[in-house]
Amino acid sequence: MTVDRSSTSPSPSQAISRRRVLCTIGAHAVALPILSWLDDSTALAVDTYEPLNRYPRMVHEFFVRQVRESGERHIHELNQLQTKADAEQYVRGAQDRIRQAFGPDPGRTPLNPRVTSVVERDGYRIENIIFDSRPGFPVTANLYIPTGVTGPMPAVVGTCGHSTNGKAEPAYQSFAQGLARQGYVCLIYDPIGQGERLQYIKDDLSSQIGVGVREHLHAGNQQFLVGEFFGMWRAWDGIRALDYLLTRTEVDKQRIGVTGNSGGGTMTTWLCGVDQRWAMAAPSCFVTTFRRNVENELP
């Protein structure tokens, strides 16, 4: 009987030779100690690894210690306040320190207010206004005035955050409209370097260096060189906005407040420190301590 073995014999590609088996076993024998060593070295690296220091921290840590010590002194000072007179004296001292930090007022000059247009809306009207906070330094603003109301009304100065379009930001428009519908006069103005108040413009009226923070930093750095403080320029716009509201017959001069969000929250807080005529203030999305900023590496 003849057996056909061609159909049961493995093909050359399927056959496993003794040479291949020995080579495979040898390779594994060599690789296992290497893999074991790699595992051990990796574990050792994890045990001894220290976080990379991106930059020297000596100066930063020095200032963190300084502000922490200052914060402890501040808490101790607050704990000593026992009476209303103590609290009032503390507030006056804080206001004096803020005034020292911001520097003197530049001096009041004519506001030269002008109304460029009026928009009538349901329940209120909007006056587009320009006034000069300093000679030749116009501030663009919107004044929202409730209609159908008799007698002086409470008023609010609205300070904008870092919106590219300043007072035209829908959120700020909504906030001002909402106040007007509730019977408040609201003046909201463009910050320097935002909205209609770009300072470093190209021929097409766009900013050369970037709207908002970039313009603020650029102007601030220039002013440092001549002993000026950009924060006082910003605050002075708000002070003069208050001065303007005091000229309006629709406004109750004893009830003028200030509020703002983010960068506007910063301005609201500053304005409380440099001017004591505000009846109320409501900063939003800002209030923190300098200590926390320094600890967060964002002085």
Task: Output the domain CATH number for residue 189.
Answer: 3.40.50.1820
Same domain, 120 and 98: no
* SS3 of residue 2 by DSSP: coil
Residue 122: C-alpha distances to residues 145, 147, 239, 279 (Å): 11, 8, 30, 28
pLDDT at 1: 47
Does residue 33 fall inside a structural domain? no
Does residue 176 fall inside a structural domain? yes
What residues make up the domain containing 135? Answer: 114-289
Considering its fold, how many domains does the chain have in total?
A: 2
pLDDT at 292: 85
Same domain, 235 and 256: yes
Residues 126, 99: Cα–Cα separation, whole Å: 34
Does residue 32 fall inside a structural domain? no
Same domain, 137 and 171: yes
Does residue 196 fall inside a structural domain? yes
* SS3 of residue 124 by DSSP: strand
Q: Which residues contact 247 (CB under 8 A, 6 or more apart)?
A: 111, 113
Does residue 1 fall inside a structural domain? no
Same domain, 238 and 165: yes
- Pick the closest to residue 123 from 180, 186, 188 (CA basis): 180
Same domain, 213 and 71: no
Residues of the chain with pLDDT under 70: 1-56, 298-299
Same domain, 204 and 143: yes
Same domain, 121 and 260: yes
The pTM assigned to this predicted structure is: 0.75
Same domain, 95 and 119: no
Same domain, 88 and 191: no
Residues 152, 142: Cα–Cα separation, whole Å: 19
Q: Which of 74, 102, 130 is the last residue of a domain?
A: 102
Q: Residue 222 region, left (φ>0) first, then alpha (ψ -120 to 50), else beta?
A: alpha
Does residue 224 fall inside a structural domain? yes
Same domain, 123 and 202: yes
pLDDT at 252: 97
Same domain, 147 and 62: no
Does residue 279 fall inside a structural domain? yes
Same domain, 120 and 200: yes
DSSP class of 289:
-
Does residue 49 fall inside a structural domain? no
Q: Which of 42, 70, 102 is the last residue of a domain?
A: 102
pLDDT at 133: 97
